[in-house]
Structures are given as C-alpha cells and as structure tokens.
Amino acid sequence: MGDFIETSKFPAIIELNVGGYSYSTSLLTLTKNGSTMLGAMFSGKFDVQKDQNGKYFIDADGEMFSHILRYLRYSELPPYSLCEKVYKDACYFGINELVEELERTPPLVGRKMRERFRSRIKGYDQFVNELIKKITNINHLGTSTPISSLRILLFEAPNNHDYPDFDVNHDCFMTQTDAAGETLTLMSQVSLGPWSVNLDEDNLMKILIQDLEERRFVCNYKINGTCHYKCIIPRALRANHRGQKMLCCPKMFYTVQFHWTKM
C-alpha cells in the first residue's frame, strides 16, 4: 500500500501552463511513469501550483514540452534538430528512458565526441574566449562591411626540425600582395597548439565553427595555407636531411569570417 499513487485529487483531463504554453493531456499520460518528476507532481502526494486561470503550472520550456508529451504518449523521439534541447528537459523531468534514447542519437553522440576532444586540447576554452573577445572588439571599432575576419594559427604538433639553422621559435607569418602591388606580411591574431589528441587542424576548425554557431554566431572559415617561413638547406648538407632542399613550417593559417547581418 506504501507505493500506491493517489491521483484522485486530479481530474482525468489536465490543463497545463508550461512556461506560458497551454496544453491539455490526460492524467494517465502524466503519471505513466511514477518515478519521473511529472509522475511525482501528479501522484497526489504534493500540491501543484496553479496559474490565475486555474491551470497547473510547470516551470519549464513550454515549446519543447510538446515533444515530452509525444514521447510519453507514443514513445516518439523529437526531430534530430531538436534532440539537444529536448534532452535538457528530459533530464529535468527525470524521464530516464528518453534520456537514454536521446544520448544514442547523432546530435548527442556528436556533442559528446566534441566535448571529449575539447577536454583533451589544452587551452581550447581560453582560445575560443580570446577569439570571441577580439572579433567583437574589432566589430565595435566600427566596420564598414557586414563581415569581420580574424586570422588564426593552428598547429597539431610543434616544429621539431633538427637542422640548426631552422628557427623553431620564429614568428609565423604569411605574405600577401595588396591591390597596389605591395607585399604585406600578415601575422596570426589568435593561435592554438600543440595538442596531444589525434585531431588534425582542419577537423579542429570544424569543431570550432560548431562551437561558435552554438553561441549564435554566423560564421565560416577558409584555409589560407601553411606558414611562409622557410629554411634553405645547402646542397652539401641535403644528404643528411633526406635530400630536402628546404625545411618549411607546417603550422596552418585560417581565416574565420563572422557575418553580423545574419545573426
């Protein structure tokens, strides 16, 4: 008798106000699983707050609650594009079966994989914060175009050339010819590396763009190429360096573009 759920104090049809959204559902649906927050709320053991119109009030994301109800009614999962949002509510309501099913969907699996990679990249969070700080400062200076750009430098591994004339501590740069034919030397504005996880620069850029998009930035990136630093090896010494004529810095330059009018 101790496990008996007394629901008689509630009507068979429940009118809900969930974060300002109105829903009608059955008491049976809400109490289908007594171990969830909803099951506990409408078990008869607690007083449930009502709004001014007499609807039972639930402080949660009203828009996403429709997907919670569809799962309780039909065991139906939300569209992939909403899985991460519904996941938060599934955890909030303690619907463990839905939590477990969502954790096996591509959006949640992808997020966990990105989080795993990020956690193993030393300095990644500081790198992202510095990037955002610099690009927003650039924008606040008053740009004449709706797009702002930032050059970044990524390198999975440090320079490890053993040739004595190769300066492993050089400042990475790129050269570019402007409209007047002048050669410009461009440096990175933000850099990250090296890291120990098996992840190349291009895949790290894709993770970075996803992270920025989750923060509601609209952005894209392009590959500029490797650093332009080179060290010529004299002909007489090339045999000692696998016949190479020169040693090049492998660190990668990228440009991230932020589209302010699309946000």
What region, left, alpha or beta, does residue 99 occupy, with left being phi > 0 and alpha being psi -120 to 50 degrees?
A: alpha
Quickly list DSSP for 98-132: HHHHHTTSHHHHHHHHHHHHHHTSTTHHHHHHHHH
pLDDT tens digit sequence for 139-149: 555 556 788 99
> Integer distance in angstroms from the first to the last C-alpha of the chain?
57
65 by Cβ neighbours in 10 Å (0-12 / 13-18 / 19+) ranks as buried
pTM of the model: 0.71
Query: Confidence band (pLDDT; 50, 70, 90) for 2?
Result: very low
Burial of 222 (0-12, 13-18, 19+ CB in 10 A): exposed
Cβ contacts of 208 within 8 Å, gap of 6 or more? 128, 131, 221, 256
Helix, strand or coil, per DSSP, at residue 27: helix
List, for residues 80-121, the tens digit of each pLDDT value. Answer: 999 999 999 999 999 999 999 999 999 999 888 888 888 889
- Asked if pLDDT for residue 254 goes beyond 50, the answer is yes
**Segment 190-233, tens digit of pLDDT:** 999 999 888 899 999 999 999 999 899 999 999 999 999 999 98
